[in-house]
Amino acid sequence: MPEIDTSSLEGVQFPSSSTFHFIQEIGRGGMGIVFLAEKDCDGVVDYVVLKTIRSLSQEQIDRLKQEANIATSLRHENIVKTYGMESIAYSDLPENIRQAIDNYQFEAGGVRKKLSIPSFAQRRAILEGKPVGATGMEHHIAPVRPPVRRLTPVTHVVPTKKDPRRLYLLAMDYVEGTDLRALHHEHIEKFTLIPCPLTAFVISRICRALSYAHEHIVHRDVTPENILINNQGVAKLTDFGVAVTGAEAIQLFAGKLNYMSPEQVANETLDGRSDIFSLGLVAYETLTGINLLQTPKGMPLLQQVQYLQAMFQQPFPPAHEVRRDVPEVLSGIVMKMLAVDRNQRYRNAQDAGNDLEQKYLYAAGFGPTNNSLASYMKIFETGWKITSQDQLRQLLFLKGKDGRVETRRPLALGDYTKAGWDWIVQRKGTALYSALATLQAMAKP
Per-domain residue ranges for the chain? 16-174, 175-445
Tell me: pLDDT of 144 over 80.
Answer: no
Average pLDDT over residues 48-64: 77
More confident of the two residues 289 and 71: 289
Give burial (CB, 10 Å; 0-12/13-18/19+) of 290: buried
Catalytic residue among 221, 239, 275, 355: 221
* pLDDT tens-digit readout, 326-384: 999 999 999 999 999 999 999 999 999 999 999 999 998 899 999 999 999 999 999 99
Q: What is the DSSP string of 247-294?
A: HHHHHHTGGGGGG--HHHHTT----HHHHHHHHHHHHHHHHHS--TTP
- Give the pLDDT score at 236: 97
pLDDT at 407 over 60: yes
Reported pTM: 0.85
The SS3 assignment for 130 reads: coil
pLDDT digits (tens, 9 = 90+) for 224-239: 999 999 999 999 999 8
Which tops the pLDDT comparison, 125 or 30? 30
pLDDT at 13: 83
Residue 216 has pLDDT above 70, yes or no: yes
Mean pLDDT of 284-312: 92
Assign 198 to helix, strand or coil.
helix
- The three-state secondary structure class of 280 is helix
* pLDDT greater at residue 170 or residue 95: 170
Q: What is the mean pLDDT of residues 152-169?
A: 59
Task: Give the residue-averaged pLDDT of 14-22.
Answer: 82
Question: Using only C-alpha atoms, what is the Rg of the chain?
Answer: 24
Residue 183 has pLDDT above 60, yes or no: yes
Tens digit of each residue's pLDDT (9 = 90 or more) over 238-261 = 988 776 555 555 555 555 889 999
Strand boundaries in 186-234, DSSP class E: 192-193, 227-230
Relative orientation angle of helices 272-288 and 196-213, to the nearest 10 degrees: 170
Looking at the chain, the whole-number percentage of residues with pLDDT higher than 70 is 79
- Total residue length of the chain: 445
In this predicted structure, the answer to whether residue 109 has a pLDDT above a threshold of 70 is: no
Higher pLDDT, 373 or 50: 373
Q: Regarding predicted confidence, which is higher, 63 or 346? A: 346
The more confidently predicted of residues 160 and 342 is 342
- Average per-residue pLDDT for the chain: 83
Q: What average pLDDT score do residues 32-56 get?
A: 83
The β-bridge relationship of strands 192-193 and 166-173 is: unpaired
List phi, psi (to 5°) of 26.
-125, 0
The answer to whether 222 and 323 are in contact (CB under 8 A) is no
Through-space distance between the first and last CA atoms of the chain, rounded to whole angstroms: 90
Contact assessment for residue 88 and residue 98, using Cβ atoms and an 8 Å cutoff: no
Q: Which of 355, 409, 400, 408 is nearest to 379 (CA)?
A: 408
Contact 171, 84 (CB under 8 A): yes
Least confident of 55-59, 285-289, 364-368: 55-59
239 is catalytic: no
Output the pLDDT for position 135. 35
How many beta carbons lie within 10 A of that of residue 92, not counting itself?
Answer: 14
Q: Cα dist. 174→39, 238, 417, 427 in Å? A: 11, 10, 41, 34
**Cβ contacts of 301 within 8 Å, gap of 6 or more:** 250, 251, 254
pLDDT surpassing 90 at residue 441: no
The correct CATH number of 16-174 out of 3.40.50.300, 3.30.450.20, 3.40.50.1460, 3.30.200.20 is: 3.30.200.20
What's the fold here for domain 175-445? Transferase(Phosphotransferase); domain 1 (1.10.510)
Q: Are 174 and 48 in contact (CB under 8 A)?
A: yes
Q: 181 by DSSP, 3-state: which?
A: helix
User: How many other CB atoms are found less than 10 A from the CB of residue 152?
Assistant: 5
pLDDT category, 63, cuts 50, 70, 90?
Answer: confident
Segment among 45-59, 155-169, 172-186, 309-323 with least mean pLDDT: 155-169
If one compares 91 and 178, the residue with the highest pLDDT of the two is: 178
